[in-house]
Amino acid sequence: MKIAIMGAMREEIEPILESVGSYTSSDHAGNTFYECRYEGHDLIIAYSKIGKVFSAITASVMIERFGAEKLLFSGVAGGISKELKIGDLVMASALCQHDVDITAFGHPYGFIPEGSVMVDADRSLIDLAKEVARSMGVDVKEGIIATGDQFVASAERKHWIEATFKADALEMEGASVACVCANFGVPFFILRAISDSADGDAGMDFDTFLQSSAKVSARFILEMVKRLGN
């Protein structure tokens, strides 16, 4: 099976590249894609750069040019649910775009005509992740992830997003990747490590957190790869 593994930043895929050992790389559409054989699967690995546009380009290339049959995304997010604390892992049950606003035409926030507010993640991959979490002794929560092309620091904006979309976490790539996968009919899974909490506490230095969380997420994602049928 050809499986795509994505992150937004280089730091999010480096532990994965270190774990798979040898790989080849090629450049396309302004990005670098890494290919290897791992646990009976062909992997295509890349980081997209931050934001919805770059992540949509990268996901599209992974599917169209490299033939990815499933896509697994790993990265960090801000928590807006009071149930989430720094370091928690959250997997998306569904994703939305909190910065889409054509309410002037009578549509709800996050809605684009011929689309939907929410894009559901693949249920079988979520169930597999739950099995992996149990086997690893890791607590992974399930929730709605909201995506937008902005870093949201305002407590007022966070409260609005939580109330409007019932969202648990915020980031800048997941929903665009979800839209690409949904349109191509490719099952996808989005995993995020919470880097700051709803009350604005950023905990440890972000760069330090990014490196440590990337290692945890990499182990989790690669364990999922091992358990996927060929």
Residue 16: DSSP 8-state: H
- Please give the torsion angle defined by the CA atoms of residues 9, 10, 11 and 14, in that order, rounded to the nearest 10 degrees: 140
Closest CA to 229 of 63, 40, 68, 91: 40
Which residue type sits at 34?
Answer: Y
Q: Point out the catalytic residue in the list 171, 173, 196, 223.
A: 196
Closest CA to 59 of 74, 76, 47: 47
Q: How many CB atoms lie within 10 A of CB 202?
A: 12
Indicate if 196 belongs to the active site: yes
Q: What distance in Å separates the CA atoms of residue 213 and residue 140, rounded to the nearest whole number?
A: 13
Residues 6+ apart with CB under 8 A from 134: none
Which residue type sits at 103?
Answer: T
Whether residue 34 contacts residue 75, with contact meaning beta carbons closer than 8 Å, is answered with: no
Q: Point out the catalytic residue in the list 12, 122, 162, 223.
A: 12
Q: Which residues are annotated as catalytic? A: 12, 196
